[in-house]
């Protein structure tokens, strides 16, 4: 299936890779079909690209890379909605807000994307845990190294 | 909008299975208790607005960063891998 994207041009995406939103991404509820697209080799990031609006794409990241002790609790209703049966089918992704300064880049830990990788269903869930911020700095607990600081 | 007056300790029911009880008033703050089935999600209203705004900002800033984005992502990768080395 050919999908036009603003960022990557025309992509040939197999229908089996399309992820259907059960409950949309807040602010983008009208978009129901997305797919994950690799952001380059050996990158911890993925693109969550809309299959319906060529201009809408989010950068997403495995949130556990950013916060190792992250423990998002998926409520029973969301488990039902996403038809989650096995723990290994659960993929959690954090939506990244990009800024030019890498120290300004943040991940939304309060409202992660939860994906049923087997059934290709997803939802942006809102966690009850208010300790998880909507803007969690990727650089939290990290110091500005020479290498990271000099790349501008 | 339906407007009701209730006393402390009194409740309202919404449908058959949602019950809201007014527990305490302190100045301008009201504590309420909500009993609802597990399939009903309950959040403070403003969290929806905050998350929506964050999503819109994430999409907009990603689009705006344009050609510089691979560079920014590389920096981020360095930042994340740097922390991994420190831990190990």
- B48 reaches A (C-beta below 8 A): yes
Task: Determine whether A7 is exposed, middle or buried from the number of CB atoms within 10 Å of its CB (0-12, 13-18, 19+).
Answer: middle
From CA A83, how far away is CA A146, in angstroms rounded? 46
What pLDDT score does B87 carry? 40
Beta carbons of A81 and A22 less than 8 angstroms apart: yes
Q: Are B39 and A96 a contacting pair at CB < 8 A?
A: no
What pLDDT score does A128 carry? 85
CB-based contacts of A94: which residues, under 8 Å, 6+ apart? A60, A61, A62, A63, A66, A107, A108, A109, A112, A113, A136
* Chain B: closest CA distance from residue A123 (Å): 13
Q: Closest partner residue to B72 among A100, A141, A145, by Cβ?
A: A100
Round the average pLDDT of chain B to a whole number and report it.
85
Per-residue pLDDT of chain A (152 residues; tens, 9 = 90+): 999 998 888 999 999 999 999 988 999 999 999 999 987 667 788 999 999 999 999 999 999 999 999 999 998 889 999 999 999 999 999 999 988 887 889 999 999 999 999 999 999 999 988 899 999 998 876 766 544 444 44
What pLDDT score does A136 carry? 95
From CA A85, how far away is CA A90, in angstroms rounded? 9
From CA A86, how far away is CA B61, in angstroms rounded? 35
What pLDDT score does A144 carry? 64
What are the beta bridge partners of residue B22?
A: B32
- Residue range of the domain that includes A29: 2-150
- A9 reaches B (C-beta below 8 A): no
Beta pairing, strands A136-137 & B18-26: unpaired
Q: Closest partner residue to A139 among B41, B58, B79, by Cβ?
A: B79
Q: Closest partner residue to B77 among A43, A80, A100, by Cβ?
A: A43
Q: Is the pLDDT of residue B70 over 90?
A: no
Number of domains observed in the structure of chain A = 1
* Chain A: closest CA distance from residue B4 (Å): 29
- Report chain B residues whose CB lies below 8 A from the CB of A22: none
Q: What are phi and psi of B86, to 5 degrees?
A: -65, -40
Helix or strand or coil: residue A9? strand
From CA A96, how far away is CA B65, in angstroms rounded? 13
Neighbours of B66 (CB within 10 A): 8
From CA B34, how far away is CA B69, in angstroms rounded? 45
- B34 reaches A (C-beta below 8 A): no
Encode pLDDT of B10-46 as tens digits.
Answer: 999 999 999 999 999 999 999 999 999 877 778 889 9
- B52 reaches A (C-beta below 8 A): yes
Q: Are A100 and B68 a contacting pair at CB < 8 A?
A: yes
ipTM higher than threshold 0.95: no
What are the beta bridge partners of residue B31?
A: B24
Residue B56's alpha-carbon distances to A37, A57, B52, in angstroms, are 20, 11, 6
User: CATH number, domain at A67?
Assistant: 2.30.290.10
């Amino acid at each position: 299936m050919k999908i036009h994207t603003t960022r990557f041009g025309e992509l040939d995406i197999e229908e089996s890779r399309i992820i259907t939103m059960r409950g949309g991404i807040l602010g983008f509820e009208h978009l129901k079909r997305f797919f994950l697209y690799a952001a380059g080799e050996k990158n911890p990031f993925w693109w969550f690209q809309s299959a319906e609006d060529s201009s809408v794409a989010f950068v997403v990241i495995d949130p556990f890379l950013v916060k190792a002790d992250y423990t998002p609790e998926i409520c029973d209703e969301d488990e039902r909605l996403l038809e989650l049966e096995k723990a290994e089918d659960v993929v959690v992704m954090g939506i990244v807000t990009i800024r030019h300064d890498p120290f300004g880049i943040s991940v939304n830990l309060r409202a992660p994307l939860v994906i049923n990788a087997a059934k290709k269903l997803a939802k942006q869930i809102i966690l009850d845990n208010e300790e998880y911020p909507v803007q969690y700095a990727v650089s939290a607990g990290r110091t500005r190294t020479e290498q990271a600081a000099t790349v501008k | 909008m339906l407007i009701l007056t209730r006393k402390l300790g009194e409740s309202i029911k919404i449908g058959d299975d949602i019950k809201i009880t007014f527990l305490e008033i302190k100045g301008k703050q009201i504590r309420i208790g909500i009993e609802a089935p597990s399939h009903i999600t309950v959040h403070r209203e403003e969290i929806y607005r905050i998350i929506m705004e964050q999503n819109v900002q994430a999409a907009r800033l990603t689009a705006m960063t344009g050609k510089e984005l691979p560079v920014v992502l590389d920096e981020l990768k360095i930042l994340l891998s740097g922390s991994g080395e420190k831990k190990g």
